[in-house]
Amino acid sequence: MLYQAWIIPILPLLGAATNAFLGARLGKRFVSLVACGTVGLAFWGSAWVFADLTRLPAGERLAMLPMYQWISAGDFQVNFALQVDPLSAVMLLVVSGVSFLIHVYSTGYMAEDRGYARYFTYLNLFVFSMLLLVTANNFLVLYVGWELVGLCSYLLIGFWYERKAAADAGKKAFIVNRVGDLGFALGVMLIFVTFGSLDYQDVFAGAPQMLAVGSVTATTITLLLFVGATGKSAQIPLYVWLPDAMEGPTPVSALIHAATMVTAGVYMVARTHALFELAPFSLSVVATIGAVTAFYAATIALVQADIKRMLAYSTISQLGYMFLAVGVGAYAAGIFHLTTHAFFKALLFLGAGSVMHALGGETNMLKMGGLRLKLPVTYWAFVVGALAISGFPGLSGFFSKDAILWQAFASPRGGIALWAMGLATGALTAFYALRAVFLTFHGESRLTWEAERHVHEPPSSMALPLGLLAALAALGGYLGLPHILGGSDALGSFLAPVFLDQANTALETQAPGNELGLMGLAVLAAFLGMGLAWYFYLARPEAPGALARRLGGLYALLANKYYVDEIYGGLVVQPLVALAHFLGEGFEIAVIDGVVNGVGRTVAASGAWLRRLQTGFVRNYALSIFLGAVIVLGYFLFR
Partner 1 sequence: MVPVSYYLILSGILFTIGTVGILVRRNALVIFMSIEVMLNAVNLTFLAAGRYLNSLDGQVIVLLVLTVAAAEVAVGLALIVAIFRSRGTTDVDEVNLLKW
Q: How far is CA 121 from CA 21, 43, 134, 347, in A?
A: 9, 18, 20, 23
How far, in Å, CA of 196 to CA of 194, rounded? 6
Residue 612 Cβ vs partner 1, minimum distance, rounded to whole Å: 6
Q: What is the dihedral of CA 458, 464, 466, 471, to 10 degrees?
A: 150
Contact 80, 199 (CB under 8 A): no
Segment contacting partner 1 by CB under 8 A, of 130-138, 141-149, 588-596, 618-626: 618-626
- Of 57 and 616, nearer to partner 1 (C-beta) is 616
Contact 354, 375 (CB under 8 A): yes
H/E run at residue 76:
strand 76-84
Helix/strand/coil for 55: helix
Contact 298, 429 (CB under 8 A): yes
Residue 613 Cβ vs partner 1, minimum distance, rounded to whole Å: 8
- Of 553 and 616, nearer to partner 1 (C-beta) is 616
**Nearest CA to 282 among 347, 348, 331, 214?**
214
Which residues lie below 8 Å from residue 149, measured CB to CB, with a gap of 6+? 126, 129, 130, 133, 232, 256, 261, 264
Position 632 contacts partner 1 (CB under 8 A): no
Pick one of 578, 623, 632, 633: the residue that binds partner 1 (CB under 8 A). 623
Contact 334, 265 (CB under 8 A): no
Pick one of 546, 595, 626, 628: the residue that binds partner 1 (CB under 8 A). 626
Segment contacting partner 1 by CB under 8 A, of 194-202, 348-356, 562-570, 610-618: 610-618
Alpha carbon 127 to its chain's center: 13
Position 509 contacts partner 1 (CB under 8 A): no
Segment contacting partner 1 by CB under 8 A, of 154-162, 301-309, 379-387, 608-616: 608-616
Residue 602 Cβ vs partner 1, minimum distance, rounded to whole Å: 19
How far, in Å, CA of 397 to CA of 12, rounded? 30
Pick one of 511, 615, 631, 636: the residue that binds partner 1 (CB under 8 A). 615
Helix/strand/coil for 67: strand
- Of 56 and 633, nearer to partner 1 (C-beta) is 633
Pick one of 68, 449, 617, 635: the residue that binds partner 1 (CB under 8 A). 617
Residue 622 Cβ vs partner 1, minimum distance, rounded to whole Å: 5
Of residues 143-202, those binding partner 1 (CB under 8 A): none
- Of 580 and 627, nearer to partner 1 (C-beta) is 627
Segment contacting partner 1 by CB under 8 A, of 13-21, 553-561, 592-600, 609-617: 609-617
Pick one of 611, 635, 636, 637: the residue that binds partner 1 (CB under 8 A). 611
What is the maximum span of the chain, computed from C-alpha positions, in angstroms?
A: 117
Residue 631 Cβ vs partner 1, minimum distance, rounded to whole Å: 15
Segment contacting partner 1 by CB under 8 A, of 226-234, 251-259, 401-409, 616-624: 616-624
Binding track, positions 441-480, relative to partner 1; x by CB under 8 A: ----------------------------------------
- Of 76 and 626, nearer to partner 1 (C-beta) is 626
Pick one of 25, 29, 619, 639: the residue that binds partner 1 (CB under 8 A). 619
**Nearest CA to 92 among 151, 51, 57?**
51
Residue 600 Cβ vs partner 1, minimum distance, rounded to whole Å: 20
Segment contacting partner 1 by CB under 8 A, of 5-13, 205-213, 591-599, 619-627: 619-627
How far, in Å, CA of 239 to CA of 283, rounded? 19
- Of 514 and 624, nearer to partner 1 (C-beta) is 624
Residue 619 Cβ vs partner 1, minimum distance, rounded to whole Å: 6
**φ, ψ (nearest 5 deg) of residue 374:** -85, -30
Residue 608 Cβ vs partner 1, minimum distance, rounded to whole Å: 9
Position 614 contacts partner 1 (CB under 8 A): yes
Residue 635 Cβ vs partner 1, minimum distance, rounded to whole Å: 19
Pick one of 56, 603, 604, 622: the residue that binds partner 1 (CB under 8 A). 622
How far, in Å, CA of 429 to CA of 528, rounded? 11
Contact 309, 258 (CB under 8 A): no
**Nearest CA to 481 among 399, 404, 410?**
399
Segment contacting partner 1 by CB under 8 A, of 181-189, 371-379, 496-504, 611-619: 611-619
Which residues lie below 8 Å from residue 68, measured CB to CB, with a gap of 6+? 79, 80
How far, in Å, CA of 422 to CA of 439, rounded? 25
Burial class (CB in 10 A: 0-12, 13-18, 19+), 355: buried
Residue 616 Cβ vs partner 1, minimum distance, rounded to whole Å: 3
Residues in contact with partner 1 by the rule CB under 8 A: 611-612, 614-619, 622-623, 626
